[in-house]
Structure 1
Amino acid sequence: MSDIPAYVIVGAAGGIGSALCRRLAARGPCKLMLAGRDPNKLDALASDLTTAGATVAVRTLNAIDSGAVDLLFAEAGQQFGPITGAANLCGSILLKPAHLTTDQEFADTLAVNVTTAFNVLRAAVKGMPNGGSVVLMSTVATKIGLANHEAIAAAKGAVNGLVISAAATYAGRNLRVNAVAPGLVRTPLAARLTSSEATLKASTAMHPLGRIGEPGDVADAIAWLLAPETTWVTGQIVSVDGGLSSVRAK
């Protein structure tokens, strides 16, 4: 059983997280520690994954709590053996100009996006002594200026810095650290944007490939970064954004 990959997925029940877990299970036997805030969604996902053949455990936690994240990785190691991959999919969307963003909104944005990423990385370093892959979440807004994205761009910019520094620090331990940077994706988190016909039309027009993202688009990239085939990839912020950050449509 030691050759079966074991993953810790924080934020597993979200749109991208659930798509990722299903892709990992579809690749073959695996062990999945699912973590997040909503126990009902986690249990429902776990049932589907177990039916698909994965070995699954569920833990409810708030990833802003570093002690809870440390315990999560310790429990995963005790239950599954060596952890080979971890992903933090916690995030938020705050679209406000800086002068209208309150102190609390900014603090919450940093906590949900930066603190959770740091906590998962730190726990993974301690919980993955044999190396492996850690994947964090960035955003297209760190690569192209988008109006009213100051708070989230600042937070995810910090995640980008965390990725490249940690990739350097832990390369000698064979621990790879990368992130994906999506554009707008059709998830429950983005429902306020995608449910508005006008907003959806405007965002679709911004993406050169002519559509917004689906959870599977991002999940595929994360699954690739978690796979053993990508053992020579680290310190990268991988754009999964329909060309928004690098292509100018005709």
Structure 2
Amino acid sequence: MALVTGASRGIGRAIAERLAAAGAEVAVHYHRDKAGAQETLARIDGRGFLVGAELGVPGDTSAVLDQLTPGLAGRRLDVLVNNAAASPAGPIGADTEEAFDRLMAVNVRAPYFLIQRLLAVLADGGRIVSVSSVATRMANPAQTSFAMTKGALETMTRTLAQEFGARGITVNAVAPGATRHQENAAVFEVPGLAELIVAQTALGRLGSAEDVAEVVAFLASPAAGWITGQVVDASGGLHLGVG
């Protein structure tokens, strides 16, 4: 059984589909987009159930656990994918304390305390995979606070990997780059943007949600049992070097 947060669309949906294709039942988490989550569940042939909860607010982990527990029906959770995230809030000059606090609450506090609460139901030998970003290794002034949250997520990944190793639980992160999917396709229609990104990507194209999902699925698989505490770049080599 896997739980994927933010699975109603985009990368989260692709991860849910890929894990289901590998045989997992998936708890499809969503916040506002219940219809999208229902579509995700339909796309995996109903192999799972919905978990509706806002993250980054008081009581969020209890809301998730209250819905997850009946679905587990006494079984253990094998895979947790922390995918849900708040979007970048812009450059420091335009940022606000409220937006900053929201980013930290959704992108850092929520996955941290979700892991804490789910340890009781997570199987020994289980997998925790968090979705980070190449923003942690790039200086993008438009994403400073966002990159800070993802840097915290990567630090959490390394330290929890050390702590949970005694139970055989691996903890890793995946760092996508520019990833086009149905929900953000309009962003890449800005004249010249896609071409600029592709020119700075070693593999010469934009990423897809499925590209990221493949890496997550590998880290969640038995084949990745000897990998822990790592951040796997899934950007196709964005800003890897001078072209």
Same-fold call, TM cutoff 0.5:
yes
Does residue 39 (structure 1) correspond to residue 22 (structure 2)? The answer is no
Does residue 55 (structure 1) correspond to residue 65 (structure 2)? The answer is no
Amino acid paired to 1:70 = L
Aligned with 2:176 (options 157, 171, 182) = 182
Paired residues, number: 239
Does residue 214 (structure 1) correspond to residue 208 (structure 2)? The answer is yes
The alignment-based identity, stated in percent, is 26
Q: CA RMSD in A?
A: 1.9
Partners of 2:183 and 2:43 lie apart in 1 by 21
Query: Tell me, which stretches of 5 or more residues in structure 2 are unaligned?
Result: none
Does residue 115 (structure 1) correspond to residue 109 (structure 2)? The answer is yes
Does residue 71 (structure 1) correspond to residue 63 (structure 2)? The answer is no
Amino acid paired to 2:191 = E
Displacement of 1:146: 2.3
Note if contact 2:12-2:84 (Cα within 8 Å) is conserved in structure 1. Answer: no
Name the TM-score, length of structure 2 as normaliser: 0.90
Give the 3-state SS of the residue equivalent to 1:210 in structure 2.
Answer: coil
Does residue 12 (structure 1) correspond to residue 4 (structure 2)? The answer is no
Note if contact 1:7-1:31 (Cα within 8 Å) is conserved in structure 2. Answer: yes
Give the 3-state SS of the residue equivalent to 1:109 in structure 2.
Answer: helix
Partners of 2:172 and 2:51 lie apart in 1 by 24
Amino acid paired to 2:222 = P
Does residue 93 (structure 1) correspond to residue 87 (structure 2)? The answer is yes
Partners of 1:69 and 1:161 lie apart in 2 by 24
Q: Deviations over 1:119-145 (max 9, x none)?
A: 332233222142300111111011222
Give the 3-state SS of the residue equivalent to 1:44 in structure 2.
Answer: helix
Note if contact 2:172-2:230 (Cα within 8 Å) is conserved in structure 1. Answer: yes
Partners of 1:189 and 1:114 lie apart in 2 by 23
Name the TM-score, length of structure 1 as normaliser: 0.88
Amino acid paired to 1:57 = F
Partners of 2:87 and 2:192 lie apart in 1 by 18
Partners of 2:136 and 2:20 lie apart in 1 by 31
The aligned residue for residue 154 of structure 2 is 160
Query: Tell me, which stretches of 5 or more residues in structure 1 are unaligned?
Result: 1-5
Give the 3-state SS of the residue equivalent to 2:44 in structure 1.
Answer: helix
Moved more, 120-129 or 35-44: 120-129
Structure 1 consecutive aligned stretches of length 4 or more whose deviation exceeds 6 Å: none
Note if contact 1:209-1:242 (Cα within 8 Å) is conserved in structure 2. Answer: yes
